[in-house]
Structure 1
Amino acid sequence: MQTCLNCHQENQESFKFCPTCGQKSSVHRINTHFLFHEVIHAFTHADSGIFYLVKELAIRPGEVVKEYVAGQRKKYYNPFNFFLITVAISAFLSSYFHLFDVNPKTTNPISAIVTKRVNWIFVASVPIQAFFTWLFFRKKKYNFAENIIFHCFLGGFRFIFFLLIFVVFVNLFREYYNIILYTFFFLFLLYATWAAKQFYEENLWLTGVKVFGAFILNQMLISVVIGFIYHAFLKNQH
């Protein structure tokens, strides 16, 4: 017999996993080799790594969310971890490259707020948009929490658009900032509409209108909050 180091249950030595908690029977001491292996495994594991998830979201986003909601949790990387990792990287890139400043040589107080709080803005966008898609697609019987899962997956994959379109082109062609920004939003909205079509299984054009409506209402609400913060707390400091 052997004792599980996680839950301390006695198991047969032939067991590769503990039947009580699921931990591996063979647990090695943590060292640099272990850390390196775990990091590589988390990103590249064929069945549940981040790269696998990104590939699946690139080719069938709505189906991925549908499978996860239906119970296939082991198959995909955790959507909350995926979302938070991409938000953290996006926030770093935004600050480092001054991505929300049309002209990085001049200080715009609103852009400064957005840059400083972009991680919270991305996080707040998930429940806000989830509420609107839950409202617009309520006949599809997905609850509010399941709509949050949908937007966590999409919010995480948005990083691909952010990195390849916004980060690259803003740094190369900042004089065309607004064109790049609207192109980024437009392409991501197309992707989000495609994902929503697969997930909610509704008419494509109607799905597009609802996704666009949720996006606009989210942007308006966040803009109002940012404007309120600026005028109520920061205006006198500038």
Structure 2
Amino acid sequence: MQPNHCANCDEPIAATPRFCPACGQKTNLHRLTLKDVLHDGFHYFTHADKGIVQLVKALATKPGVVAREYIAGKRKKYFPPLNFFLLVAALFLFAATVTHRDRQMIETRDSVTAGVTGNMTLSEKKLQAQQIVRQRSNEAYRYLARYTNYVAMLAVPYISLIVWVMYRRSGYNYTEHLTANLYLVGFTNLVHCLVVTPLMYFTRPYVNMMIFTVLFALFEIFYRTVFYYRFINDPIKQGLTKTIVKSAIAVLAWFALIFVFMAVFIAMGFIKQQ
């Protein structure tokens, strides 16, 4: 027998509908089974209309189009941008926690402590300074890895503001650029988690980590260029060269912020040694 009210939103319903006209939940419910839970989870990620798998595929094959269509009104077609970004941020945090190594930081700290003496030669002071830089750099990386979710949450509004200023004549407001960058940064962070982080982990210390940083920065510039060229979708006003330059500025602005943070963190280490 059909209920008189929806079990989810308590909306009065007739006996004939299969779904509640207010919230869309099924009217004919039964007790939960393990099959129901697994089906809902699988459906959440792979639904043909707006599953996360379909979203990742769309972001890889047609960058910029997803954000443009979502902002234009196709909200049911795609996985929500904030949900996608938060899921990737959680994966990013997990990857950073699993792959981070504390051994190098501990060894560097011990070497710095051992090298501090009252009277040091110029070469000894130079060596100590190098040790402090390595120590503070490792500690800064550890801090960023521990709070990567907060860093990511700050990164998107910061980059979106810069992009909004550069594309202020595009017709999109700040919130719409923020939405686009939730998709964009979420996808590039996903690539970092699934490709770059494992490569960095398994090739250390044989490959300089700076190589991966530069390669990933180039990938970000390339992807952001394609993404925004298709997102703006106006080749007359927005040439490809201009898009490349603006994409490079956006990526370098983020690296500049990280550099400033690292520089301040290292400087504080020198102050503590005084």
TM-score (norm 2): 0.78
Q: Higher relative contact order at CA 8 Å, sep ≥6: structure 1 or structure 2?
A: 2
Which amino acid counterpart does residue 56 of structure 1 have in structure 2? Answer: A
Structure 1 position 216 matched with structure 2 position 252: yes
Equivalent residue for 2:227, pick from 191, 195, 202? 195
In 2, Cα distance between equivalents of 1:232 and 1:36: 50
Of 61, 64, 67, the match for 2:63? 61
Deviation at 1:32, TM superposition (A): 2.6
Residue 176 of structure 2 aligns with an amino acid whose one-letter code is E
SS in 1 for 2:68: helix
**Residues 83 and 155 of structure 1 are in contact (CA less than 8 Å); yes or no, is this contact kept in structure 2?**
yes
Q: Are positions 1:182 and 2:214 aligned together?
A: yes
Matching of residue 128 in structure 1 with residue 130 in structure 2 = no
Match of 2:42 among 40, 43, 46: 40
1:8 to 1:192, Cα distance in 2 relative to 1, 3 A: same
Contact 1:11 1:18 in 2 (8 A): yes
Report percent identity of matched pairs.
32
Runs (5+) with no aligned partner, structure 2: 109-134
What is residue 9 of structure 1 aligned with on the other side? 11
Q: 2:242 aligns with which of 206, 214, 220?
A: 206
Residue 156 of structure 2 corresponds to residue 156 of structure 1? no
- Is 1:126–1:155's contact at 8 Å kept on the other side of the alignment? yes
* 1:118 aligned partner: 148
1:143 matched to 2:145? The reply is no
- The answer as to whether partners of 1:47 and 1:76 remain within 8 angstroms in 2 is yes
Quote the Cα distance in structure 2 between the aligned partners of 1:81 and 1:94: 20
Where in structure 1 do 4 or more consecutive aligned residues deviate above 2 Å? Answer: 20-34, 101-107, 221-237
Counterpart residue type for residue 126 of structure 1: V
Contact 1:130 / 1:144 at 8 angstroms: preserved in 2? yes
TM-score, length basis structure 1: 0.88
- Is this contact kept in 2: 1:62–1:197, CA < 8 A? yes
Aligned mates of 2:189, 2:18 — CA distance in 1 = 37
Q: Distance in 2 between matches of 1:80 and 1:234?
A: 40
- Measure the CA separation in 1 of the matches of 2:15 and 2:264: 63
SS at match of 1:139: coil
Any gaps of 5 or more consecutive residues in structure 1? none
Larger Rg: 2
- CA gap of 1:111–1:29, structure 2 versus 1, over 3 A, is same
For residue 214 of structure 1, what is the amino acid of its counterpart? A
- Cα offset, 1:217, TM superposition: 1.6
Note the alpha carbon deviations across 1:171-216, whole angstroms, 9 max, x for none: 2222321112211221122111100100013211101111111221
User: Closer, same or farther in 2 for the Cα pair 1:164/1:102, shift >3 Å?
Assistant: farther
Return the alpha-carbon distance in structure 2 between the equivalents of residues 178 and 52 of structure 1.
33
Deviation at 1:28, TM superposition (A): 3.8
After superposition, the Cα gap between the structure-2 partners of 1:48 and 1:26, relative to the gap in structure 1 and judged at 3 Å, is farther
